[in-house]
Amino acid sequence: MGAYIALIYGVIVFAILVIIGLVRFIFSQEKGNEKMQEIAGAIREGAMAFLNRQYKTIGILALIVAIIIIIANYFGNLSKGSSQAASIAFHIGFAFITGALCSAISGYLGMYIAVNSNVRAAAGARKGLNRALQIALRGGAVTGLAVTALSLLGVATLFLLYGGASGKENLIKEAPSLIVGFGFGASFVALFAQLGGGIYTKAADVGADLVGKVEAGIPEDDPRNPAVVADLVGDNVGDCAGRGADLFESTAAENIGAMILGVALYPVFGWKGILFPLVARAIGIVSSVIGLFFVNTKDESKDPMKALNKGYFVTTILNLIVLIFIVKAMLSGKLPNGQEVNWWLLYGCAVAGIILSYIFVWLTDFYTSYHYRPVQEIAKASTTGPATNIITGMSVGMESTALPVIFISIAIYIAYKLGEHALPGFANGGLYGTAIATMGMLSTCAYILAMDTFGPITDNAGGITEMSGAPEEVRNVTDRLDACGNTTKALTKGYAIGSAALATFLLFSAYLDEVKKILGRPLESWFSVDIGKPEVFIGAFIGAMVVYLFSSTAIRAVGRAAQYVILEVRRQFKEIPGIMEGRAKPDYAKCVDIVTKGALKEMVVPGMIVVIAPILVGILLGKEAAAGFLMIGTIAGVILALFLNNGGGAWDNAKKFIELGNYGGKRSDAHKAAVVGDTVGDPCKDTAGPSLHVLVKLISTITLVFVSLFR
């Protein structure tokens, strides 16, 4: 075990050193002229103020939940003796606090680097596309590496502290169950970070667009718009801090779920089956770092997306190669009947996960890029008004759920069957195959997150150049990077929901393993969930309902917060003379403050619905009903997230397609209709949709933490 632990911590140290190098590179770049620095300072101040206030609110909620976790697990395990119950409760509670803290740190660090990279990317654009591309991607890479390294550090350290380093079989097998609190803590912070950030960014965006573009007829990111700084702040709090916490939670939850499943295969792999997910994650970090340094574009006229795709390709190929040796070293062994484990089949599970990630990225691009039929259909529908734009956009969003579901199902089936054939006779063999597929899909997580954070950095860079009155050639560079960033943000949402779908199947299986332990059944036995039982059917019904109720409250929260912004922007246009002529400066800070208060107020109710519902179902209806809640809640959550993400992204790019000069271009009737459609899609793709990624994993980690309390 020592060599693998050394490898894991060696990679963590390597990631920290790379982060330090990237930060030094970013801070050594020029910050542009005084006007650029002034605008960037306002964005930075607003973003950090929001994050500080948001984390205070989340901290209070997390403290209350930590106390409930400790009390619930103490009484839920009292049958094992008071000292044993107290030990379990303390371990899970401490893991929850650690997970929440690490998730908050990763979001905070990602935000800090992003708001310091944006102005440098804007200034770098004066020296050409490649310089700005390098600055923006390396700024995003800090977030990607920080999130994955912190997740790995937290899970590995808790595993060792909770018995993994003891060398005793019973303690090693018990440790993964005790660290489920880490996943719940990460999920809890991720939900509120994504939800609060999503409400903030879309309330500001909707307010700025409807009054600025539609009513006043001024361009996007125009300095005369009082909500423009709040909009730029929102790009960071929604897409940097929110998505950082989201993917931190993904990597933590999937690692823990796979480790729990590895316990059932202890007779075959020993501790290696438990440690494999952490080693696979470490390898993914190294591959992502190498891939990052392959990103450059010598030809300034080329699409920068090609350079990013090159880095992604290199990362994927490296993972495919190295995983062969890792799977062979860790997942070889003999079955109880003396037969050798076919580790090549287990490697095939990892390949299935990696292929699925590529398919998801391609499908998301097809449904959200203006190069393809779906978005062009919406743009064409805009020529007959907002109603036909919205009708067509809804149909595209619904259509976009079909192929992803089919490919997820194929990947799960292939991975399950490969695992089953590699480990014949083990009930959990197929499930472990899906765990390996999930590890394969998430092996590129650090690079994907770097591309995701690249989006808001380039978006901010474009806003800064626009507001500072930079020359046309500089704005052309930032516009191209911004367009590329919009694509990467859409693609990473597709990747996130695809990994969430695989992960929740994995976490559902981990929940069933925990139920078996509590009931005293062998881990290799089956635990059936009978959907025909009234309690189970009701639990499943409630699971689907909660997904829609949560989405409703999240979207309504954007609408309410946006109303405050719209009224404030209208007030300033009316009461501050000279804004439209450029003679007076708008009160940007007022809009930032209004959106901050609105977002923090509105995020609490939808977040608490998700936390409370599965616990009540388990306590009132039982363990099997909670399994039904998980299963149907996951299915409904994944499909609705696909609809909201892809539909919203398609609406957004239909507007951009018209802005390129199609169907009358900017300020045409088609453009106005497309702006309305984009406004409808905004809370779908940036608030409710991404928050559902977290929801489907949060309900799994909640049930794992509170299962001892369920009747």
pTM, 2 dp: 0.85
| Confidence check: pLDDT of 630 > 80 | yes
- CA separation for the pair 18, 241 (Å, rounded): 20
- Give the mean model confidence (pLDDT) for residues 625-646: 91
What whole-number percentage of the chain has pLDDT above 70?
A: 97
Cα-based distances in Å from 386 to 367, 450, 555: 20, 35, 19
pLDDT in tens, 490-528: 777 778 788 778 777 777 877 877 787 777 777 666 677
Kindly state the average pLDDT of the residues 658-677.
87
The count of structural domains within the chain is 1
**Model pLDDT for residues 7-45, shown as the tens digit of each residue:** 999 999 999 999 999 999 998 988 888 888 888 888 888
Q: Which two tokens stand for residue 400?
A: 């976009």
In this structure, is the dihedral angle defined by the CA atoms of residues 451, 455, 460 and 462, taken in order, positive or negative? positive
**From CA 282, how far away is CA 5, in angstroms rounded?**
10
Q: Backbone phi, then psi, for 334, in 5-degree steps?
A: -115, 140
Say what the pLDDT of residue 289 is.
93
Domain containing 31: what range? 1-709
Residue scoring higher pLDDT (252 or 533): 533
In this structure, of 379-393, 415-429, 503-517, the range with the lowest mean pLDDT score is 503-517
Tell me what the mean pLDDT of segment 114-134 comes to: 86
Please say if the pLDDT value at position 5 is more than 70. yes
Q: How confident is the model at residue 213 (pLDDT cuts 50, 70, 90)?
A: low
Q: Residue 581's closest CA among 222, 232, 231?
A: 222
Q: Which residue has the higher pLDDT, 216 or 101?
A: 101
- With contact defined as beta carbons under 8 Å apart, do 391 and 520 qualify? no
Tokens of 506: 């994995």
| Model pLDDT, residue 326 | 92
- Cβ-based neighbour number of residue 310 at 10 Å: 15
Model pLDDT, residue 379: 92
